[in-house]
Amino acid sequence: MRNAFIETLFELAQADRRIVLLTGDLGFSVLERFRDELPQQFVNAGVAEQNMTAVAAGLALSGKIALTYSIANFPTLRCLEHIRNDVCYHEANVKVVAVGGGFAYGALGATHHATEELGVMRLMPGMTVVAPADPVEARAATRAIVAHPGPCYLRLGKAGEPNVHSAPIDFQLGRAIRVRDGADLTLISTGSMLKTAVGVATRLAEQGAGARVLSMHTLKPLDVEAVLEAARETPAIVTLEQHSILGGLGGAVAEVLAEAPDAHVRFRRIGLPSMFSPRVGSQDYLERMHGLDEESVLRTVTELLG
């Protein structure tokens, strides 16, 4: 996903000199072309993410479109006050881009596990929160946040993620993408969990159960109508996320369902508990350990369906 992001951003920056990319001394082997060919639109702020955010806010308030880039927890949690006061309070045109969402950097331990930042960024006033599912969505999301006039958070995977979408998509901020249809339940995923959701839906179909699959790439603003439509048209909803079940996709959908007067639907959040992972390892390994792999999700969904 990060390659899809930087390739798309490079194309946009070639045509728009307002675009400036700031990195916290990250992105080696990924950002060199941008740095070398567009040196006036590139800043390496060093391992100083708080300063990087403040510089980005100043650039944005001077008419630039500023994007900060680093490993997920560093441009978010490390400099949250600067995002709140410098970016959001001033409605500055800053896009916070995080690489390695969820367990993408699983082998580096809890300091590099990005499992709370979606909820934290959802809380920031005026912040648009986007977590694309694959390189196809990442390219579209990059164009969308650059065009959007205001603070945005873009959560990417790392590298090597497969394309889930095999056809062109209609990507709009705040509008979920219906990937599959079905009448027995709805699987709503965000970020890289779409691949798992599609796999589970395929296996349910083999068992005679039809699952609607929604890619909820934008967590804020959430596609409320897509959630309510799923509640009206399917008897169960399951959310999938590589994030804490508090504050992220599951929390956002639960808020909608709790306030809907006619949302009589079984509901289950599949995500992470509010605790640090006691294990380190590859992303696939940590997904299995935390019940986020396809087999575990299938068991949970089958139990819910009875």
pLDDT in tens, 52-75: 999 999 999 999 999 999 999 999
pLDDT value for 263: 86
Residue with tokens 């798309």: 8
Give the pLDDT band of residue 277 (cuts 50, 70, 90): very high
Q: Is the Cβ–Cβ distance between 220 and 148 less than 8 Å?
A: no
- Average pLDDT of span 152-170: 92
pLDDT value for 160: 80
Q: Which helix (H) or strand (E) segment is 23 a member of?
A: strand 19-23
Q: Which residue intervals of the chain bear CATH 3.40.50.970?
A: 2-155
CA distance 116 to 249: 11
pLDDT value for 29: 85
Instruction: Assess whether pLDDT exceeds 80 at residue 22.
Output: yes
Q: Which CATH number fits the domain 2-155, given the four candidates 3.40.50.300, 3.30.43.10, 3.40.50.11810, 3.40.50.970?
A: 3.40.50.970
Give the pLDDT band of residue 31 (cuts 50, 70, 90): very high
In CATH terms, the fold of domain 177-305 is: Rossmann fold (3.40.50)
Instruction: Assess whether pLDDT exceeds 80 at residue 43.
Output: yes
pLDDT value for 133: 97
Q: In what order do the strands lie in the sheet with 266-272?
A: 177-180, 211-215, 185-189, 236-244, 266-272
Q: Which of 270, 2, 219 is nearest to 117 (CA)?
A: 219
Give the pLDDT band of residue 21 (cuts 50, 70, 90): very high
Instruction: Assess whether pLDDT exceeds 80 at residue 17.
Output: yes
| pTM, to two decimals | 0.96
Q: Which residue intervals of the chain bear CATH 3.40.50.920?
A: 177-305
Q: Which helix (H) or strand (E) segment is 209 a member of?
A: none
pLDDT value for 38: 98
Nearest 5°: the CA angle 134, 137, 138 is 80
SS3 assignment, position 37: helix
pLDDT value for 73: 95
Instruction: Assess whether pLDDT exceeds 90 at residue 48.
Output: yes
Q: Which of 249, 290, 291 is nearest to 116 (CA)?
A: 249
Instruction: Assess whether pLDDT exceeds 90 at residue 306.
Output: no
Q: Give 245-306 as a 3 state SS string.
A: CCCCHHHHHHHHHHHCCCCCCEEEEEEECCCCCCCCCCHHHHHHHCCCCHHHHHHHHHHHHC
Q: Is 63 left (phi over 0), alpha (psi -120 to 50) or beta?
A: left
pLDDT value for 68: 98
Tens-digit pLDDT profile for residues 178-222: 999 999 999 999 999 999 999 999 999 999 999 999 999 999 999
- Average pLDDT of span 161-178: 95
Nearest 5°: the CA angle 123, 135, 18 is 65
- Average pLDDT of span 143-153: 98
CA distance 115 to 3: 22
Tens-digit pLDDT profile for residues 66-123: 999 999 999 999 999 999 999 999 999 999 999 999 999 999 999 999 999 999 999 9
Instruction: Assess whether pLDDT exceeds 90 at residue 159.
Output: no
Q: Which of 201, 170, 143 is nearest to 16 (CA)?
A: 143
- Average pLDDT of span 133-149: 97
The region of weakest confidence among 10-14, 117-121, 133-137, 156-160 is: 156-160
* CA terminus-to-terminus distance, the chain: 36
**Which residues face 236 on adjacent strands?**
266
Q: What Å distances lie between residue 85 and 53, 155, 272, CA to CA?
A: 10, 21, 29
pLDDT value for 161: 87
Q: DSSP per residue over 126-176, as a string?
A: T-EEE--SSHHHHHHHHHHHHHSSS-EEEE---S-PPP---S----BTTB-
Q: Which helix (H) or strand (E) segment is 239 a member of?
A: strand 236-244
